[in-house]
Structure 1
């Protein structure tokens, strides 16, 4: 295990106990058994460490949900969506609990911006899902439906994250599918409008730029050892600089890298960038 990974793993335990604000760099270094100098070789500050932890958890969750939504047949899509959400939260319950608390308590503008960034990406995934499932019949209410689905996700997640209530995930997902279908069918007075939703969509799109993706690709090319993934990353970097390949070829390259732990997030960002 690298020193950077050690710091991330150990600090997460402290953050889960004490919260972000109440945990100091000194406490982290003591808990890790390293010097402050060793800490600052890996992270410039505690905030950079926190951002790295949020990115690590949320990028995995976002990419997995996005891929599942794209690849699952419509008949099982809504059930699989809720199953992915709750399975992800249960598998990382300590960090999920920490994130849900910090989103309501943090005054750090950078952390708030990071939370909103991932929230907006997930909004877009949910929107694409409900458009695919319900089509024109929810055209006037689809943004409100997205907001309602997020409310169901957060409310029911809190039952086993904060209260340790044992829930049958299968029954929970079936119940939420039923509730979502009822909302889609009978809602006629939306609160969240298209104009309201587009404000957040535009903010997210500004963050997904070719330059930022190219920087991530450069980092991964150095770190990845597998020939197929490394070659695919190189081609995708070239495509960002000088577009020459068809969408089918780009999709094939993305499929080559999406299962590699260090490439999943790049695959997601490129799918969003190219609208594939």
Structure 2
């Protein structure tokens, strides 16, 4: 992200949290940034586009923290607790912004927002599912969908307490309490051998590819963002591969991208198994061959 783009996003966050999205003008944003309106529209075609960029900005900040936790190689239970604390800390720190957008109902429901929501849902379910299986083992697999949805319910209930009831919580104590309750749930299910409400395959619905049914431009954005998250999670990735991705991302965001350059950057990333599906999708959408 370019420095001026970050400056605009951070200024808008302050104004949207204080005045609301609808009551904040582009002029107020550029005045706070000390830039011209022309500079604003170089980076964002509209206020709606800016709001989507803010959501992605927040998402990237959380993803970065989750990667840092993963790199610490903590014990599974401590890893999960640390991840949950990241989300609760984020909500607490950005509560005013969140409350204002909810109050105003300012987030537009368009194709890009829908795809963003699907991506967040998919990543959150995957996070809970992977952590639960790592902590409790394959024995909970028949109940993994029920346990995942139960954890999501508990997690979101306390989010509501923080946002709507303005209640301060000790997050270390909270995440420990939540995992203790999960222990109780898992123990009860395994002991009772009760038939699951949801089959494990229920969670597969979150992996359905909602991203590629709409406009290619919207799909392309989602693919590249997902690719970024995947690369960030890979340990010891060579610097030149990060550079190749940055060049690819920048070129794809241009109005008239150079197909030869895109093809070259995709070729540079061909040895990374984790992003093969991303390479194929980008090549297909851009009409280039996968080398």
Quote the residue 1:259 is aligned against. none
Report deviation, 1:230.
4.1
Q: Is the 8 A contact 1:65 1:85 kept in 2?
A: no
Which residue is 1:221 aligned to?
A: none
Q: Contact (CA 8 Å) 2:270, 2:276: kept in 1 or not?
A: no
Between 1:102-111 and 1:29-38, the stretch displaced more is 102-111
1:155 and 2:157 aligned: yes
Aligned counterpart for 1:233 among listed residues 242, 248, 255: 242
Alpha-carbon distance in 2 for matches of 1:108, 1:77 = 34
Cα distance in 2 for residues equivalent to 1:195 and 1:113: 22
Quick check: 149-158 or 41-50, which moved more? 149-158
Separation (CA, whole Å) in 2 of partners of 1:89 and 1:134: 28
Q: Report which of the two structures shows the higher radius of gyration computed on alpha carbons.
A: 2
Contact 1:213 / 1:270 at 8 angstroms: preserved in 2? Answer: no
Name the residue aligned to 1:177: 179
Q: Deviations over 1:19-64 (max 9, x none)?
A: 4345443443355454422321221111221111111111221343
> Is the Cα–Cα contact under 8 Å of residues 17 and 98 in structure 2 kept in the other structure?
no
Q: Does 1:200 align with 2:212?
A: no
CA separation of 1:159/1:243 partners in 2, compared to 1, >3 Å: closer, same or farther?
closer
Distance 1:210 1:60, change over 3 A: closer
What's the C-alpha RMSD, in Å, of the aligned pairs? 4.0
Determine whether 1:61 maps to 2:65: no
Unaligned runs of 5+ in 2: 213-218, 230-236, 249-263, 280-291
Count residues with an aligned counterpart.
Answer: 242
Three-state SS of the structure 2 residue aligned to 1:130 is: helix
8 Å Cα contact 1:69/1:129 also seen in 2 = no
2: distance between equivalents of 1:113 and 1:104? 18
Q: Is the 8 A contact 1:62 1:118 kept in 2?
A: no
Structure 1: gaps of 5 or more residues = 218-227, 252-268
Q: Aligned equivalents of 1:103 and 1:119: distance in 2?
A: 23
The corresponding residue for 2:224 is 212
Q: Could you tell me the TM-score, scaled by structure 2's length? A: 0.65
Structure 1 pair 192–158 and aligned structure 2 pair: CA distance change class (3 A): same
- SS of structure 2 residue aligned to 1:145: helix
187-196 or 169-178: which moved more?
Answer: 187-196
CA distance, structure 2, for counterparts of residue 141 and residue 164 of structure 1: 34
TM-score (norm 1): 0.68
Tell me what 2:49 maps to: 48
